[in-house]
Amino acid sequence: MSVEGVEEKPEFVRLLRQQIDAEQGITFARFMEQALYHPDYGYYISARKRIGKEGDFFTSSSVHSCFGRLIARQLEQMWQLLGGKDFIVAEQGAGEGHLAVDVLDAVSEQFPAFYERLRYRIVEISGDARQRQKKTLQRHLDTGRLDWCTLTDLQGMRGCLLSNELVDAFPVHLVQTVAGELREVYVINQGDDFSEELRAPSTPQLTEYFAQIGIAPAEGNRCEVNLAARDWMAQVADVLEEGFVLTIDYGYPAKDLYAPERHAGTLLCYHKHQTNENPYQHVGCQDITAHVDFTTLQQIGLKHGLETLYFGHQYQFLMGLGFLELLMQMQSHETDPIKAQALRMSMKRLILPEAGMGESFKVLIQGRGVGQPELLCARRIQDIRMPAAGLS
């Protein structure tokens, strides 16, 4: 730590500044890639507790196990839809392993026949995260249902590719329209600080991106462009022989993400449960994220043979999977009123729009070779049978 609670890795900052000098400035995407994934100092790569109370931020799966338990219900239906045979769930970017353990616990307890045919494969870039995932998931490692692999190892898979808060952590290009021309943000050195400079785009893909979605960013607005998300979607679509891609993240359709009134974009940093908009502080010690463009994910998916089966808010998705029913069930087993209240509060956080995760998070389900099934998550609230117990 140095002054005023700013956490720093001075040797990393020195290294970045040398790189910036050598290359006479680097794109913001390159800067973000280094800050998050540098092999020695990157935020996601170096040893650190990132998720949960002692970390920098919460994810839905770290808020309550019901998130993973409800997703397990959706996965079980997908397994049935593919004929109840061998089924792979591949989770990319598993963090602390919370989602994986909750899904695997729920499947082993409630759907033993599915558990027998299930292989849960984790694709994780961070060796540090993999170590902790192994500890969290030891009991499922012991049953032989779990392993770690790369995306290319999944070639020809049947099942579901799952991710929660993966795509928002990909490095993004920053662009701004000046006098009708698209310009890109480069990071340069200025005295002892990092600074920014607008230059011509580093790649024609940035202009092509906006042409694809049919949107021209408004004059002066800052926008993020996640080219890595496009490549990822194409790769994911290509490894999937038959089945589903279930992507959960905060984001919007392109018309909302790039709306004229969104002047400063969505770039946000997380450090010890505080948010800030300065990616040039706590370098390598804070998360940097940007909201996901779900229109582009669907367009690229379609180009690679994936049809959109479902797109909605996280609260709708969880409600469809029986959120209220599960909340009542869990509450009825809780005799301590204080614990029952805490349970309600953390579960509600997953669905509440403001300060909660219900509306800012979206869920996209795409499919290959599965037709247009009626997915469990798409059930309307009025069609869900409720248990008799009340909810206060």
Ligand X SMILES: C[S@@+](CC[C@H](N)C(=O)[O-])C[C@H]1O[C@@H](n2cnc3c(N)ncnc32)[C@H](O)[C@@H]1O
- Residue (95 or 367) nearer to ligand X, CB: 95
Task: Map residues 99-138 to x or -, x wherever contact with ligand X holds by CB under 6 A.
Answer: x-----------------------xxxx--x---------
- Residue (101 or 215) nearer to ligand X, CB: 101
Cα dist from 343 to 26, 71, 337, whole Å:
47, 18, 10
Considering the rule CB under 6 A, would residue 34 count as an interface residue with ligand X?
no
- Residue (166 or 215) nearer to ligand X, CB: 166
21-29, 89-97, 207-215, 366-374 -> range binding ligand X (CB under 6 A): 89-97
Cα dist from 257 to 213, 291, 386, whole Å:
11, 8, 36
- Residue (99 or 237) nearer to ligand X, CB: 99
How many CB atoms within 10 Å of residue 389?
11
- Residue (247 or 298) nearer to ligand X, CB: 247
- Smallest separation, CB 341 to ligand X (Å): 24
- Smallest separation, CB 184 to ligand X (Å): 22
Work out the burial of residue 196: count CB atoms within 10 Å of its CB; fewer than 13 is exposed, 13-18 middle, 19 or more buried: middle
Are 50 and 193 in contact, with CB atoms under 8 Å apart?
no
Q: Nearest-CB residue to ligand X?
A: 93
Listed in sequence order, the residues at least 6 apart from 312 whose beta carbon sits closer than 8 Å to its beta carbon are 362, 363, 377, 378
Contact with ligand X (CB under 6 A): which of 66, 94, 246, 364?
Answer: 94
Handedness of CA 49, 345, 341, 326 (dihedral sign): negative
Contact with ligand X (CB under 6 A): which of 9, 73, 98, 140?
Answer: 98
Considering the rule CB under 6 A, would residue 95 count as an interface residue with ligand X?
yes
Q: Which of residues 157-176 bind ligand X (CB under 6 A)?
A: 164-166, 169
Please give the sequence-ordered ranges of beta strands (E in DSSP) within 240-385, or none if there are none.
Answer: 240-252, 268-271, 274-276, 287-289, 292-293, 307-313, 361-368
Which three-class secondary structure string do you get for 130-178?
Answer: HHHHHHHCHHHHHCCCEEECCCHHHCCEEEEEEEECCHHHCCCEEEEEE
88-96, 141-149, 273-281, 353-361 -> range binding ligand X (CB under 6 A): 88-96
- Smallest separation, CB 276 to ligand X (Å): 17
Q: Which of residues 48-87 bind ligand X (CB under 6 A)?
A: 51, 59, 61-62
- Residue (63 or 182) nearer to ligand X, CB: 63
- Residue (9 or 98) nearer to ligand X, CB: 98
Are 366 and 301 in contact, with CB atoms under 8 Å apart?
yes
What gap in Å lies between CA 217 and CA 167, rounded to an integer?
A: 21
Listed in sequence order, the residues at least 6 apart from 216 whose beta carbon sits closer than 8 Å to its beta carbon are 177, 210
Contact with ligand X (CB under 6 A): which of 12, 41, 44, 115?
Answer: 44
- Residue (62 or 314) nearer to ligand X, CB: 62
- HSE at residue 121, side-chain half, CA atoms within 13 A, is 19
- Smallest separation, CB 35 to ligand X (Å): 13
- Residue (166 or 283) nearer to ligand X, CB: 166
Rounded to 5 degrees, what are φ and ψ at 101?
A: -70, -40
Contact with ligand X (CB under 6 A): which of 34, 74, 92, 314?
Answer: 92
> Applying CB under 6 A, which residues contact ligand X?
44, 51, 59, 61-62, 92-95, 98-99, 123-126, 129, 164-166, 169
